[in-house]
Structure 1
């Protein structure tokens, strides 16, 4: 389709929409809208599987029954309809996505109004309309109950998806120190025992001969963007959201006032180190993994390397706090351990089977997973030890 509008006009209209209250906090839909507008400007055809592949990191050719794209397109059309119904907003160009299509079109307000005025109408006898309206509420209630029955989140996450919930995702980050090298120049350096300003002060007091200073940046692994993407899709599925915080800036008030999800490494923990596995009677951190000790049984679960595969261990720790808040810790010193367990705990079918293993009266659990596979993929992620907190 030929571009009939100045690109600056289109871009200005796009920004106005994204800043409107209907879209301002809807990250997924603004992202989808920007994607469709960009494709329309470039005159590139889009289909369901291309949107799924580009935006949802999955190839829809592999799962033709996945309706995530169709669902998001339906909701985006509804948002655009509501936006253009706002009489207080002036429009230089209209973004239109026709029902059943994925390509976005640019219309002038005149063209848009003509299309709506010329829409075809169907004559329905009044008696049939009355009958339909009598049964419509019953049908809607039945349909809504059916949808909700198969779309309920696991009880493990219910506090995160309440309408008034305050949720916080904490991402582990590595504290960076500027230290003087042998060449007399300062270099960004990582120290395993320095994870905060307080740690740096203690280190400087013990090493007064060297020159060490803090920096205004920290480092994160690839787990951070990929893990955040998994959680964003999961929360969006249940119309919930979360704020983000780095472990290096986390405070105790953050933990007290929010349902917390921590993702990352235990070796870079600061405040979270005092809470992670706090109530465990059998687990403790050990080298690059964990130790399980119960009665006379003690077993080490540490990362194993060989030429063909890698085995590592990830801990998922969940606790219902006295304050009525929840805490979830997805912890591994390796990216794939965090991502693999996040994948399990955002899968309703797997969650349902796991939840059945927990007793009725439970205040939390610590679950240890073995993650293995070739080329560091999570082709194998199995539960090896489970501690139930009563």
Structure 2
């Protein structure tokens, strides 16, 4: 601790510096603070305002910040002084933040600017090595965090036994989304054109065969039922996880001429298969009826058939039949069909087949019967649940299909 005389000499040196010599108010304020500290006087903001800045007893610190603002500036001026003219001083005058008592603090040689610079320069190689170690540690942690995050998005590999042809395809992948057939007709009753959806009519040919004398126009706007839309996300996630960007089309846009140009995935209602229904009838052992909801399975080399039916959709307990067919296309391409009668089934089976963990039992059954998970197959599922929420999935039929269009009995 310095004596009072030493403090006065140090104060005079500061006051005569360039930083303070032209600022009478800060000379006065600093002198006041140092003398108060020497005399042991307790300082408050109100006391300083009255005795230094000429305020009266009505001074309110909450409304007037003159003391705090001048104290802030005084600290900055002291910092500037010790950075320039006072950098060689052995003692430094400090005004702690939040207080007004001044103290003279001895300066250790360890923190002298020149000494500190020389020490840093001398240890520069060590500092570089330490910085590189920290940087490498941060990069390693970032890499591990990224790998952990990517594992959340990685669903399967390109050699997936069910989706392999689509994940490493030389052909573009086309997702055909089932859309209902709608038609427009001018209504005399409403005196405007109305859009009509008749569940028993699923193409222009069917309409004309039932009502040959009526004049209607197909609606230019598509309508996608629930089971088409909510079957898409798991399949897109699967494809995007290996950077395959599919083309999306309405099922009404498909025609026989393009069936050999893509690896095709159909998602949606059985009623919206349209062109692809011929592929189902020719390439698989399934046939289906729209009304009533009926799937007929006719394996080769047998006289019998198996018939599976489901009721109409309700908002309560529901069951649905879902065809899952991976069939050989006309040009060594693949046609994958996931189609159901109601909105319950197709989204559930799309999720089921896109998840390696969920479909483990499905693959196990094929391997037990055929010794492998075949490239092409046909399967029928029954899905039960409430409204659109599935609770149980049952495999009714599973069968291997050869690329030469023959099939094994299951």
Q: TM range, normalised to the smaller chain?
A: 0.5 to 0.7
1:334 aligns with 2:342: yes
Which residue of the other structure, out of 383, 388, 397, is the alignment partner of 1:385? 397
Partner in structure 2 of residue 152 of structure 1: 157
Aligned twin of 1:188: 195
C-alpha distance in structure 2 between counterparts of 1:279 and 1:163, whole Å? 21
What whole-Å deviation, never above 9, does each CA across 1:354-390 have from its counterpart, x for those lacking one? 2343334845211110100133311111211112213
In 1: Cα distance, 2:216 partner to 2:234 partner: 37
SS in 2 for 1:216: coil
Q: Which residue of 2 aligns with 1:354?
A: 362
Partner-residue secondary structure (3-state), 2:189: coil
- 1:229-271: CA deviation from partner (whole Å, max 9, x where unpaired): 2222121122212000001111234321111100112223321
Partner residue, 2:311: 304
Checking the alignment, whether the CA contact within 8 Å between 1:171 and 1:244 is kept in structure 2 is yes
- Does the Cα contact within 8 Å between 1:291 and 1:299 map onto a contact in 2? yes
1:292 maps to: 297
Partner of 1:33: none
The answer to whether 1:344 aligns with 2:356 is no
Measure the CA separation in 2 of the matches of 1:158 and 1:372. 29
Q: Using a 3 Å threshold, how does the CA distance of structure 1 residues 194 and 164 change in structure 2: closer, same or farther?
A: same
Give the SS at the match of 2:365: coil
Q: CA deviation at 1:350?
A: 3.2
If the length of structure 1 is used for normalisation, what is the TM-score? 0.56
List gaps (5 residues or longer) in structure 1: 1-120
Indicate the residue corresponding to 1:252 in structure 2: 256
- Say yes or no: does 1:369 pair with 2:381: yes
Taking the aligned partners of 1:212 and 1:151, their CA distance within structure 2 comes to 47
Q: How far off is 1:181 after superposition? A: 4.5
Secondary structure of the corresponding residue to residue 191 of structure 1: coil
Q: 2: CA distance between counterparts of 1:304 and 1:194?
A: 19
Aligned to 1:167: 173
Q: Please report how far the alpha carbon of residue 175 of structure 1 lies from its aligned counterpart in structure 2 after TM superposition.
A: 1.5
Deviates more, 1:159-168 or 1:149-158: 149-158
Q: Distance in 2 between matches of 1:307 and 1:239?
A: 38
> 2:162·2:375 contact (CA, 8 Å) conserved in 1?
no
Rounded Cα–Cα distance in structure 2 between residues aligned with 1:322 and 1:181: 44
Partner of 1:93: none
Give the length in aligned residue pairs.
255
| Distance in 2, Cα, partners of 1:150 & 1:375 | 28
Match of 1:276 in 2: 280
2:223 counterpart (219, 225, 232): 219
Deviations 1:252-306 (A, max 9, x none): 343211111001122233211111242223x220332312345354433222368
1:16-36 Cα offsets, whole Å, 9 max, x none, are xxxxxxxxxxxxxxxxxxxxx
Which secondary structure does the structure 1 equivalent of 2:265 belong to?
strand
CA distance in 2, matches of 1:308, 1:199: 31
The answer to whether the 8 Å contact 1:311/1:371 transfers is yes
| Whole-angstrom distance in 2 between the partners of 1:150 and 1:175 | 34
CA contact (8 A) 1:277 1:317 kept: no
Per-residue displacement from partner, 1:26-53 (whole Å, max 9, x unpaired)?
A: xxxxxxxxxxxxxxxxxxxxxxxxxxxx
2:393 alignment partner, SS class: strand
